[in-house]
Structures are given as structure tokens and as C-alpha cells.
Amino acid sequence: MTEIKVMLSAAYKESYLELVPRFEHASGHKISAIWDQSARIFQRIKGGESVDLVILPSEPLDALIKLGKLVARFDLMKSGVGVAVRAGARKPDISCGAALKRELQAATSVVCSLGPSGVYIVGLFQRMGIGDEMKAKTKIVQGEPAGAVVARGEAEIAFQQVGELLPVPGIDLVGPLPPDIQKVTVFAAGLHASAQQPDAAKALVKFLTARAAAAVLRQKGMEPI
């Protein structure tokens, strides 16, 4: 039995956890998953840690390829940023950027993650001209979904990748950000330059990008590429 070591961010978790057992059953290989924040994954791989496959947003993954740490990129899926509120709460108007700005100014608290979606949201507040007023009422979390904070009633509005909001109990997904302010992130797999099981890792990528996997991605709030 071949063990494939994969380091990946939580944005892909729901789809990954459903697809990997199917791959293990079909291939006879075993997957060892190492979960971490995207920024920490980047630093770990840059610092010399070795696995077979890395799954990250495309920007840091491309940077690792330029550094020679990864040798190939395989696009897996894309995801937009979503908006959620506590289950049963009033749903804010997110029909356009201007409507969302009004909702944000009226809100008492919002929450986002430390990952790429959170970085984007904080930058969006700045571009909307409400960066200073939002700073005092924005909670940034790591190690748990932003939606969990809203479910506990500790913030009004959560922002995170749609696929990370969908499985959280106790919240209602309002929807994705409107097109005029949406940020779509491509998630990709990168083969490590020092992969011990490169062929098995490529077989896993082939499985994750097959037609059968596309239906799972859509079900989990992602879009296949």
C-alpha cells in the first residue's frame, strides 16, 4: 500500500473528505492529510517541509513553484466568498456592493477568517471607504469557521468561502458576494519537488479532477475547473 502525503487548506475540506475514501477504495493507496492555514502551509513548504502534494489557492501555490519547491500545478476548483447569518436572523441585502456597504455600516459586528477570503474582505472594506469604522467591529478567526462565530451569536455577519460556510450548523447562507465585488479563488494542487510518491500523487489529482468529482464539488459549494 502506497501512502500519499497531502498538505492542504480547509477550504477544500468538505469535498476532499468525501472524495478521498472513494480514491483509497479504488486505488488501494492511503492518503495522509495534513491540514493547516494557507499562510502557514506556504511557510512550511518554503521552509523545506516535504510532502507529495500541496493543495492551496493558486497564488501562493504559484509562488512555491517559482521558488522551486513545487514542480507542477493542477487546477482543481474555484470558489467565491459567501455571506452568512445566524439561522433565522434577518438576511442582509447583498444584491450589489452598495447595498452590502449599507448593511455593513448598520451591522454591529462581522467575522471573517484569517485565510484568503478574510484578507480579501478586509481589503474590500478599505476600498469601500469604511475600513476604519469596520476595524472596531470585525473579528478575525483562525482554527474554526467564521460561520461558527455567527452561530453562537458572537457576530452578525460571517464572510468566508461558500464551501466553508455550507456545512456549519446554526447559520443561514445568504449567498455569494454580488458579482461587482466578488472574489473568485482558484484552488490548485502542486506536486512537491521532493515527492516520494509522485505517480500516486498524480493519480490522486486525476481522480480529483475527473467528471465524477465535479458533482461533489458543486454539492459542496465549489465550481469544478
Same domain, 140 and 208: no
φ, ψ for residue 93 (rounded to 5)?
-80, 115
- Cβ–Cβ < 8 Å for 123, 81: no
* Nearest CA among 122, 117, 111 for reference residue 38: 117
Same domain, 51 and 110: no
Inside any domain, residue 212: yes
Phi-psi label, residue 219: left if phi above 0, alpha if psi -120 to 50, beta otherwise: alpha
Domain range spanning residue 165?
81-176
CB contact set of 199 (below 8 Å; sequence gap of 6+): none
Q: pLDDT confidence of 71, banded at 50, 70, 90? A: very high
* Average of per-residue pLDDT across 177-192: 96
Query: Is residue 206 scored above 90 in pLDDT?
Result: yes
Cα 21 to Cα 75: distance, rounded to the nearest angstrom: 21
Q: Which cell numbers hold the place of 133?
A: 469604522
DSSP state of 177: P
pLDDT number for residue 143: 82
φ, ψ for residue 182 (rounded to 5)?
-75, 150
* Average of per-residue pLDDT across 104-119: 93
Same domain, 61 and 109: no
Query: Is residue 85 scored above 90 in pLDDT?
Result: yes
Inside any domain, residue 181: no
Same domain, 161 and 195: no
Neighbours of 122 (CB within 10 A): 16
Q: How many domains does the chain have?
A: 2
- Cβ–Cβ < 8 Å for 160, 147: yes
Query: Is residue 142 scored above 90 in pLDDT?
Result: no
Tell me the CATH number at 143: 3.40.190.10
pLDDT number for residue 77: 92
Cα 172 to Cα 151: distance, rounded to the nearest angstrom: 9
State the residue for C-alpha cell 469601500: 128
pLDDT number for residue 163: 87
Q: What is the pTM of this model?
A: 0.85
